[in-house]
Amino acid sequence: MQKHTQNLGNNPWRVTESSFRPEHYSLNATLFALGNGYIGLRGTFEEGLEGAADQHGCYLNGVYFSEPITYGESAYGYAKNNQRIASTALPHQLSIKLNGELMDMKRGKVLGHHRELQLDNGLLSRDLRWQTEGGQTLKIESRRLVSLTDRHLIVTEYRVTPENFSGRLEISSYLDATPAQAEASDDPRVGSGINPDDLKPLECQADEHGLLVSQRLRSSGFTLVSAATDRFHGKQPLSTQPERLGSYSAAHHHQLDAKAGETITLTKYALCYSWLHENEEVSTQKIQSHLLASCQKGFGHYAQQQRQAMDRFWQDSDIEIEGDPELQQGLRFNLFHLFQSLGRTPGTNIAAKGLTGHGYDGHYFWDSEIYIFPFFLYTQPELARNLIQFRYSLLDAARDRARELAISKGALFPWRTIGGEECSAYYPAGTAQFHINADVAYSIKQYHLATGDNQLILDVGAEVVWETARLWLQIGHYNPHRDNRFCINEVTGPDEYTALVNNNYFTNAMAQAHLRYASELYHWLQCDHPGRFEELVQNLNLSEAEVNEWREAAERMFLPYDDESGIHLQDDSFLDKPRWDFANTPKDKYPLLLHYHPLTIYRHQVCKQADTVLALFLLSENFSLEEKRRDYDFYEPITTHDSTLSACMHSILANELGYADKARHYFSQVARMDLDNHHNNTQHGVHTACMGGTWLCMVQGFAGMRIHKGQLHFAPTRPEGITHYRFKVRIQGRQLSVSVAPNGTRYQLLSGPPLTLISGDQELRLEQPNTDYTATTLREDNAS
C-alpha cells in the first residue's frame, strides 16, 4: 500500500479531516475510531463506502473467536489455536436513499466534508454536503460517541437537511453482524481472516420497538448481543418499516417527507453486550429496558457525561506543551487512544492495536506491561491495577503452557493471546520470548514502588512474581564453560531481527531483576505478612531452598559483555555477525521483514528495535552513564526502528545522554506515529505501545523522572522548539504537578503528604500543597 500524507490540522484538541479522499478512508477509519475500553468502533462512515465494507469494525475487548492454527509442518508444543478479536454488529450504520439513489461518498458529488475527532469532548463529528447525480443537495451532520459512562452504549446523532429540494427521503438504520472478509496478506502484522462458519446466529429481530441481533461464537463460546433503536427529534417519519435481513442483520426503514431547508434529526441508540458464561447472561428484556432508558436520556445527556469523563481524564493525564501544536496534537491523540483502548473489566487488557483495527488479531503482548502500563500507573493507578489482575487471571493457563514446554513447575505467559492461550504461530519470535515473564514481574514491582499498595501484591502480585520466576531455573543452567555463570540459552529478546540466541542480554538482565524481586517479596511476606506467606508458600509448594536458588542464579547471572569495546552484547554471538549493509539497502526495502527472509536478517548485526538499549532504560540503575553511552552509540546506528516500539526508547536514552537532536527527532516520530502513518500500517490499527512510549518520552525522557532506590528524581530538559511543558503524576498517595519552563522547573504538591524529590542536582522538599517549589537548573544538552 502506498503511503499518503494528509493534513490533519494543528488544533491541539482536535484531529481534523477537511476533505474526502478515498485513499485515506482505511487509515482514517483507524484514526477516528472511538472506544471506551470495552467497545471500539472504527471511524467508518455511517453509510459505509462502496468497496470498503471490510473497513468496518466494532470490536469487543476480550471477546474472541478461536480458530485452529494451520502449520505447513507442525511440531510438538506448538500453539494450537489462534484467538481473534471479535467484531460485533455495527452500531452506527445508517443509509439515505432519495429517488432510489443511495447516498455514497464515491457516487454523486461531495461538495464539502469535514470530520473532527474531538479529544476534549470524546466525540467524532462529521459535517458534509453531498449532491445526487440529479443535483439534489443534502447537508449531513453527525455526532457519534462510544459512551465512557455506560460501557455498552453507542449513540449517533444524525442530522439531514435537504438544501435545494423537497420530496420523499428514506433513512434506513441497520444492525448488521454479517461477517466481513479480511484481506489476505503475507505481512505477519496483519490479522487473519474470518471464518463465517464459526458464527451461529441466535436471534435476529426487527419490530416497532427496535432491532436485536445475537450470535454465538461456536469456537470460543462467547455470546454477542446488539440492540438498537432510533428516535426522531422534531420532524417524524411518515412510516417506519422494520425488516429482518437474513440471520445477521435487521433494519428500520424510515420514510420521510423532506422539505428544503428543514432538518431531520435522528438519534440512533445502540447497545453491545457479550458474555462467555451462562451466569453472565443478560436477558433480552433487560437489554431492551436499558435501550429504552438510554433513549429517554437523549444524546445531549450522554454528550455532557462524555465531556465530563474526558475532563476528568485530562485533568490527571494531560501533558501540555507550548511551542509545537502538531506535537501537542499528536501527544493528546495518543493519550486519548490509550484511554479509549484500556480494558476496565476483569480479563481484559490493552491490545497492540487498541480497539481500532484487526491488526495482530487484537492480541495482547508485553507491550502492555513495558510500554503502556507506566502511563496509567502514574496518572490513574486504579486503571493500572486491572492490568495486573488481568495477568493473574491468566495464571492457570500460563501454568498449563509451562507444562507443554516441559517446565515442570511455575508458569509461562503466552507471547500473544486474548484469553490466555498462546497464539504465537511462529515460536522463534513468539514463545521463545521468555522475557515476557520478567516483564510482567517488572510491572508488578513498578506498581508496588509507585503506589505502595501492599494489598494487591499480597492478593495476586506475589503469586504471579513467584510462579513466573520459577521458569528461569528450569530453562537456564550453570555453564562450566562460562565460569559456572548462570546462562539462559535458546531465547529471543525483544529485537525480532535476531532469534533463538544464547544469553540475550535483555532477557538475562530482566530475569536477574525478576529473581531478585521474587526473593525480596518472599522475605518481605515472611517478615511482614506471615499469615498470607504461609498460605501462599504452601499453595505453591515454595521452599526457602528454592528461593535461595533464585538468589544464587541472580547473583551468578551471565551478562554478556565485550571487554575490548565495553559494550553489553545483545547475545553471545552478536559480535560474530557482520553488520547489515545499510549503505546498499534502498529505502523501499524497509521494513526489512517485508523484503528479506528471516535467515538473511538473523545472519546480520541489525536490530528491528531497542533490545539492549531497552534494558538501559528499564534497569537504569545498573549502568553508568558512560556504559549507556557506549551501548547506545553502538546499537543505535544498526537499529532500523522497523518496530514502533523502538523510537521512544531511543528518545529517552538520547535524552539521558544529552543527545538533544536525536531525542527530539525520535520523539517527533513517536508522538505522531499514527497521525502521520510513519509505519504505513496504521490502517490496521493504532500502535498503542508507541502511544504509551509518548508519555514515557515526555515524563521519563525529557523530564527524566526515575525512582532510584525509592527516591524520586527528575532531570528536566526541553526539546528544541518547546518553550514549556506541564504534566501531573501520582506517586505513593500524592499527586504532583511538574512544569518545565526556560527558567527552571516548578513542582507543586497537589495532594498527599510532603515529599522530597531531586531535580537535577537540587533537592526539593515539597511541604505545602499547591505551592510552587522551583528548581532553577535545567540541563542544557548539546546536539549529538
Positions touching a copy of itself (CB under 8 A) are: 69-79, 82, 186-188, 404-406, 424-428, 430-432, 475, 477, 479, 481-482, 487, 489-490, 499-500, 502, 572-573, 575-578, 593-600, 602-603
Please name the amino acid found at residue 515: L
Parallel/antiparallel/unpaired status of strands 755-759 and 711-714: parallel
**Residue owning grid cell 504537578:** 737
Nearest distance in Å: CB 327, a copy of itself: 34
Minimum CB distance to a copy of itself smaller for 558 or for 623: 558
Question: How many CB atoms sit inside 10 A of residue 612's CB?
Answer: 25
Minimum CB distance to a copy of itself smaller for 133 or for 490: 490
Nearest distance in Å: CB 401, a copy of itself: 10
Radius of gyration of the chain (CA): 27
- Nearest of 614, 47, 709, 41 to residue 357 by alpha carbon: 41
Nearest distance in Å: CB 366, a copy of itself: 17
| 555 given a catalytic annotation | no
Minimum CB distance to a copy of itself smaller for 82 or for 609: 82
| DSSP structural state of residue 56 | -
Cα gap 39→154, rounded to integer Å: 9
Minimum CB distance to a copy of itself smaller for 232 or for 426: 426
660: helix, strand or coil: helix
Nearest distance in Å: CB 418, a copy of itself: 15
CB 398 within 8 A of CB 411: yes
Q: Distance between terminal CA atoms of the chain? A: 35
Question: How many CB atoms sit inside 10 A of residue 544's CB?
Answer: 11
Cα gap 535→549, rounded to integer Å: 21
390: helix, strand or coil: helix
Minimum CB distance to a copy of itself smaller for 231 or for 630: 630
Please name the amino acid found at residue 491: V
Minimum CB distance to a copy of itself smaller for 481 or for 709: 481
With helix as H, strand as E and coil as C, how does 321-334 read?
EECCHHHHHHHHHH
Nearest distance in Å: CB 579, a copy of itself: 10
135: left (phi over 0), alpha (psi -120 to 50) or beta: left
Phi and psi dihedrals of 213, rounded to 5?
-135, 130
Minimum CB distance to a copy of itself smaller for 295 or for 594: 594
Which among 67, 116, 496, 546 is annotated as catalytic?
A: 496
- Nearest of 160, 125, 172 to residue 303 by alpha carbon: 125
CB 773 within 8 A of CB 755: no
Sign of CA dihedral 288, 292, 297, 301: positive
Grid cell digits, residue 782: 548539546
Parallel/antiparallel/unpaired status of strands 137-146 and 123-131: antiparallel
Question: How many CB atoms sit inside 10 A of residue 309's CB?
Answer: 17
Nearest distance in Å: CB 776, a copy of itself: 49
Nearest distance in Å: CB 530, a copy of itself: 36
**Residue owning grid cell 538499549:** 613
* H or E segment and range at residue 111: strand 109-118
Grid cell digits, residue 500: 533463538
Minimum CB distance to a copy of itself smaller for 77 or for 347: 77
Nearest distance in Å: CB 187, a copy of itself: 8
CB 332 within 8 A of CB 675: no
Nearest distance in Å: CB 403, a copy of itself: 11
Minimum CB distance to a copy of itself smaller for 305 or for 489: 489
Q: Which residues are catalytic?
A: 496
